[in-house]
Structures are given as structure tokens and as C-alpha cells.
A and B are shown apart, each in its own frame.
Chain A
Amino acid sequence: MDSDYLKNKHILLVDDEQELLDMVVSILKEEGFFNISAAKNRKEALSLASASKPDLAILDVMLPDGNGYQLMEQLRQDNEYPILFLTAHGEDEDKFKGFGLGADDYVVKPFLPKELIFRIMAILRRSYKEENPLVKLCDSEIDFDCAEVIKNGEHISLTAKEHDILAALYRNANRIVTIDALCEAAWGDNPFGYENSLMAHIRRIREKIETNPSRPVSLITVKGLGYKLMIK
């Protein structure tokens, strides 16, 4: 997936430990990000944020002059942008607290550079879509905004359920998405007993996106587990 357009996003980094800040900055720089502000406490973070609006904030939960949750609320007073927590608290309660207040994701220390970058890219991709993001498949293209598939120059519209299922597959493009997660995306919580309906929808999606629906190359079945959307 081409995500270079995300690399110029402004990232605000807040952690009370200088060495950790340095390390995260170096990880981000290595990945190609260059617009990075680093703050050691809440005050610095707020002044940096007001000087230049960040596109993503990475916050530590424990700060010398307050906690990260308060900082998140303050940062979001003026502008709505994604926030990722970086913390040494591995407990689930903290996780729920963070998400309850509207955090976008949560990375528990210690972490590998790859893990952090993966989460950051996922959040950025979700929050900042490319202009006219046509998703290129092997035999067709998907236009999520118009809910249609373009195959051989022909525009085929998607139903709401097909759109939801494809969107869920696209969010995890080239990776397996479980049957249960797809049912949840299409039918909401506790999606028990929709497996057969899902199969029917998948069949219809294939008719729209594949040249040969009985030998799919873009929407692949992983037996017993789920489906995978292969994009270019």
C-alpha cells in the first residue's frame, strides 16, 4: 500500500523520559517521518500543540505535571485528531480507560519499532484518507466513497452490506480477517449465526470484483478462518 502521503504528518510526542523520546524520534525518522515535535511534560506539549496543530499525538500516561488522559482532553478541546497512548501500564483497566476517553490505540512498553510503526500507520491511514482513494485490486478498483466497483471501465454499485464487508477487509488489506469480525462489521455486535449470509455476500462481492469469481484472486478464502483482500 502506498502510504507516503502520510509521512509529512505532524506528530506530537510526549514522554517524561528524554532517552525514550530520543528513541521514538529516531524510530519515526528512520521510517521517513520528519515533522515531529517532542515534549517532556504537559505544559510543553500544550504550547507545542498550540503553535502547530499536530495530526497525531503519542502520549505517555504518566507525566510529571499530570496524566496523559487529562492532556488528551485538553489537546482535543480545539481540534479533533487521533491519539495513541504509550504506557508502562499493561493492565486492561487502563486500556479500557484510555479507549473510553476516546484514545485511538494503546501501545504497552516495551515495544518493537515495527510494532509502533504498524500502529501509527494504521491510525494515520484510518484518519487521513488519500484524495480519491481508489483501491486497486488485481482485476478491478474499489471506490469506497461512491460505494462502487470499477471493472473493465464498468461501474458496478455495492450494497451497504457489501461495502461494510469490503471496508473491513480493506482496513486489514493483505491480512486474514475472521468470519466473526466480518459478521460484526456487517451486522453489529453478537453476530451469531450469520455465517451463511456472509458466504452469500462474499459470493456476490466476488462476482463484482473478480474476473473469474469461481477462481478468486483478490478476495481469497482461508478455510475455516476467514477471508483476505489482496490489493496491489
Chain B
Amino acid sequence: MKSIPKLIRRYVSILLLSCILLFALNFILLAAFASRQTPNSSPWKTAEEAADALQQVNGSEYSLPEPIAHELKSSDAWAIFIDEETKQVKWQTANLPKSIPLSYTLSDIASLTRGYIDGYPTFTGKAENGLIVLGYPKDKFWKHMWPSWDYYTIARLPKLVLLVLAANAAFIFLIYMVANSKLLKSIRPIVTGIQNLPSGKPVYVNEKGLLSELAFHINRTSEILQSQNNQLQKKETARANWIAGVSHDIRTPLSMVMGYAGQLAEDTDLTDEKRQKAAVIVKQSKRMRNLINDLNLASKLEYNMQPINTKKENIIAIVRQIVVDYINMDIDDRHPLEWETDESLTLCPVTADKNLIKRAISNLIQNSINHNEQGCKIYVKVAVNNKKCSIIVSDDGIGATDEQIEKLNHAPHYMVCDENVTEQRHGLGLLIVKQIAAAHNGTTIVEHSPYGGFSVKIILPIQE
């Protein structure tokens, strides 16, 4: 759900940015419009021009030159000239309304300068010996009659503008939040639902509100995933059960083969040759037994049906026990085991399933024995590097080619690959080792042994 606040932030910033841009644009437009209007039509300017242009003819007669008179006429304006001393109208245009008085007091003049005469907006211009007053039609201008600001307000203006802008922004944000909280509320369960889909657990989103259709589809998707999962699980369980069943059913007949062959192999009444034959049967039935055990465990690990009971274990103790078991079994003296672990290393705590780890290491030792019938030394070592515990089983036997080692490290086993198997792949033993290492969050590395043969390293994380 990290994306939701990000989304909000992005939208709010876009919103604010567009508001600011809009303010700026409006301001520019206004300024452009106002500046275009000023030069021609300012009545104050016209009044000034008229005052300058008014000419005195024949002592007491006045006249306005044609261009200005024409301009006044075209805008329906009238004009009067008030004498400075008598405060009487000394000249007027022909279109002067009747209601305009012809004599003025000082206060009348102050008032008309600021505002109106009888509702006509008036503008004044200072002429020689008097005042020119222009009057425009009543609906032509509006006058601001008290145009004064104290300096304190003007000084605070930038702050005030910013404050207003901030208030605007906050207000817009509030509107956005209120308007969107509902949408967000309906989005959140859907986002959660989509995010939970890959986890494989059943997902249900309430199919109500703005996005009910989306919720509906998420729920259907979850149902489909669930049923597919169940089917897959069923199939895998069936397969693992089948393998378990087969391996179980083979055990009793194989017991008989192994038991009697074992007796014959030890029977001193028989000739050496016959005992040898019985020994071959014993050996091959042992191979079958290993195969059954491996097959069962490999399939269970592959289909996640093997319960893994981990607890804190000292890996050194586990590996030491296996090595000792092999030495105690004393199968033959062709495969002596060497314990190579540094004696100062006594504790290597790893969270592990003891039985599975035992199985993996036995498999590695058994592998070395099986692949080196002529005999070889087997070296077992536990080492600790960078908070990792490595268990290394190597031998000085026939080893493997670079190509084989590359394959063992990277090619999937036939049991877990989906291609047709055309060539012989390695046995189940190493697959199980890899599966067990993976089940413990560890890795397996196959390499050349420093002793000249084959070497497998299991690397497991150490528990602090």
C-alpha cells in the first residue's frame, strides 16, 4: 500500500501547480487587458487634454478645438468650464443636461472631483483660470470615491498575498481530500486485494461502492486461482502418495529377497562362488532399498509434503555422528573416512531438521562409496565462513569431468524437469541433497576435490 500516499501526493501537487499557473495566467491576461485599455479611453486623460485645448476667444468666449469636441461627442460626454474666481460655469457644451447646476461651491467641486454630478460620472482637468469638468453618461463609468490606503497595509501586501495563496491552497486541498476520500476508501480494499492475490491465499473484496465491478473481478480471479491451486495440490499429493504407496509395497517382498540372500551370503556350507552370487543379490537389493527411500523422500520434498521439523542444532555434532556411524559400520576398509574439521571449532549452530541433514550427508558419503568401487579416501569437514556453515564431503576417487560438474550444478534432475529425458542424469542422491539444502535456505556446490576426486559442499546459514 505504499503507492497510495504517493498517488495522493502526486495528484495534490499537480492540482496546486495548476492552480498557481491559473492564477498567474489570469493575472497576466488582466494586466494585458488593462494596459490596452488605458492609453485611449481614460476619461481623466481626456479631461486633461480638453483643459489644455480649451481656448479663450474674444475675451469672455471659449471654444474647444474640433478633434477634442468630436471625441467628446462620440462618447456622449458633456463638458463645462468653471471659472476659478466666480465658481460660475463660463462655458458648456451644447448637450449639457438640464439638471446640471451652473454655479458651484468649493465643496461641490471637491465632491464632483471625487465622484458624480447628479449621477453623471465626472472627471476634471486643470485649465487656465478654471476647471474643465467632463461628464459621461451615467452607465459609462463607476468611480471609486475614497481611493486611499494606509502605508501599513501596502507594506504588508506581499505577506498578505502569500497568506491568501496559502489559504487558497489549503482550501483546495481540503476540497480534494473530501472529494477523494470516498474514492480512496473504495480503492484501498481493491489495492489490498490485488496485492494479496500472488500470496495464494483466498482473497475477498466487498463488492459494493464505486468500484464494485473491479472487486467482482478480483474475487472471481481469486476463486480461479484457488481452484487451480487446489487441483495442483491434489495432483501433487496424489503423485507423492502414489510413490509412497509403491515404495511401501515393495518393502515387504524386498525384505524377503534381502533376508534370504543375506543368509546365503553368510552360509559357510555354500561354495565361495555361490556365496559370491548371493552377495551380489544383497548388494543389488541394497541399491533398490536406497532407491525406494530416495524416491519417496525426493518426491515428498519436491511436492512440499515432507514435514520439516527444525530446531537449533549443532551441525558439527550431527556430521560427527554420521562419520562415526560409517566408521562403526565398518563396511569395508576400502573407503576410510577422514575427519578434517578444525579441532578448535566445536559449535556451529544452525536451525535444521536433524534427520534431513543426516540424510543429506549420508547420501554424499554413500555417493563417494558407490562411485569408487576400487576404493577411495573420503574427507568430511565442517567449516565456518562469513556466518555460513559449510559441510564438505570430498574424496580422492575417480572424480568427474568439468562438463559433468557443470551439469550437476546447473541441469535440473529428470524428476523435476519437463523435457524429455534422452541422456542419463545423475541419481536421486544428489537431488535430495540439493532439496534438503534448499529447504534449509542453503545451497549446494559440486566441484573438483582438492584431493583429486569429487567434492560437494552444502552451505547453510548460521543461527546467531
| Partner-B contacts on A (CB < 8 A) | 17, 19-20, 23-24, 26-27, 30, 88-93, 108-114, 172, 175-181, 192-193, 195, 222-226
Q: Which residues of B have CB within 8 Å of A27?
A: 259, 263
A226 touches B347 (CB 8 A): no
B323 touches A23 (CB 8 A): no
Q: Given A20-B252, A93-B307, A110-B285 in contact, is the A30-B259 Cβ separation under 8 Å?
A: no
Binds A, one of B33-41, B140-148, B213-221, B313-321: B313-321
B327 touches A193 (CB 8 A): no
Binds A, one of B52-60, B338-346, B360-368, B404-412: B338-346
Name 10 interchain pairs, CB-CB below 8 A, sorted by A.
A23-B259, A90-B251, A108-B251, A110-B255, A113-B262, A113-B266, A176-B328, A178-B317, A192-B346, A223-B339
The answer to whether B231 has its CB under 8 Å from any CB of chain A is: no
Chain A: which residue is nearest B313 at the CB level? Answer: A190
The answer to whether B106 has its CB under 8 Å from any CB of chain A is: no
A24 touches B328 (CB 8 A): no
B320 touches A225 (CB 8 A): yes
Partner of A109, one of B255, B260, B314, B355: B255
A177 touches B259 (CB 8 A): no
A46–chain B nearest beta-carbon distance, Å: 23
CA distance A90 to B355 in the complex (A): 12
Contact with A along B258-299 (1 / 0, CB 8 A): 111011001000000000000000100110010011001000
B327 touches A20 (CB 8 A): no
The answer to whether B247 has its CB under 8 Å from any CB of chain A is: yes
CA distance A193 to B344 in the complex (A): 11
CA distance A175 to B328 in the complex (A): 6
Q: Which residues of A have CB within 8 Å of B320?
A: 178-180, 224-226
Q: Which residues of B have CB within 8 Å of A224?
A: 320, 339, 341, 343
CA distance A222 to B252 in the complex (A): 39
Closest 4 interchain pairs by CB? A180-B317, A88-B251, A110-B255, A110-B254
A154–chain B nearest beta-carbon distance, Å: 33
Q: Which residues of A have CB within 8 Å of B316?
A: 180
A20 touches B255 (CB 8 A): yes
The answer to whether B257 has its CB under 8 Å from any CB of chain A is: yes
B324 touches A192 (CB 8 A): no
Number of interface residues of B (CB under 8 A): 39
CA distance A204 to B334 in the complex (A): 36
The answer to whether B417 has its CB under 8 Å from any CB of chain A is: no
Chain A: which residue is nearest B340 at the CB level? Answer: A224
The answer to whether B248 has its CB under 8 Å from any CB of chain A is: yes
B240–chain A nearest beta-carbon distance, Å: 12
The answer to whether B256 has its CB under 8 Å from any CB of chain A is: yes
CA distance A176 to B325 in the complex (A): 8
B324 touches A225 (CB 8 A): yes
A178 touches B256 (CB 8 A): no
B163–chain A nearest beta-carbon distance, Å: 70
A84–chain B nearest beta-carbon distance, Å: 15
A194–chain B nearest beta-carbon distance, Å: 9
B127–chain A nearest beta-carbon distance, Å: 115
Chain A: which residue is nearest B342 at the CB level? Answer: A224
The listed residue with most B CB atoms (<10 A of its CB), out of A26, A109, A192, A226, is A109
Q: Which residues of B have CB within 8 Å of A178?
A: 317, 320-321, 324
Q: Given A90-B247, A225-B323, A226-B320 in contact, is the A112-B343 Cβ separation under 8 Å?
A: no
Chain A: which residue is nearest B247 at the CB level? Answer: A90
Q: Which residues of B have CB within 8 Å of A17?
A: 252
Q: Given A110-B257, A172-B328, A176-B328 in contact, is the A89-B248 Cβ separation under 8 Å?
A: yes
CA distance A195 to B344 in the complex (A): 10
Chain B: which residue is nearest A226 at the CB level? Answer: B324
Contact with A along B180-210 (1 / 0, CB 8 A): 0000000000000000000000000000000
CA distance A224 to B380 in the complex (A): 11
Chain A: which residue is nearest B329 at the CB level? Answer: A175
The listed residue with most B CB atoms (<10 A of its CB), out of A24, A110, A222, is A110
Q: Which residues of A have CB within 8 Å of B292?
A: 90
Partner of A176, one of B289, B327, B346: B327
A110 touches B321 (CB 8 A): no
Apart from the given pairs A93-B307, A180-B314, A224-B320, 17 other A-B contacts in the complex at a CB distance below 8 Å: A20-B252, A20-B255, A88-B248, A90-B248, A92-B355, A109-B251, A110-B252, A112-B262, A113-B266, A114-B262, A176-B324, A193-B347, A222-B327, A223-B339, A223-B343, A225-B323, A226-B320
Chain A: which residue is nearest B258 at the CB level? Answer: A110
B19–chain A nearest beta-carbon distance, Å: 68
CA distance A139 to B346 in the complex (A): 32
CA distance A225 to B251 in the complex (A): 34
Q: Which residues of A have CB within 8 Å of B258?
A: 110-112
B252 touches A113 (CB 8 A): no
Q: Which residues of B have CB within 8 Å of A172?
A: 328
Q: Which residues of B have CB within 8 Å of A30?
A: 263
B375–chain A nearest beta-carbon distance, Å: 21
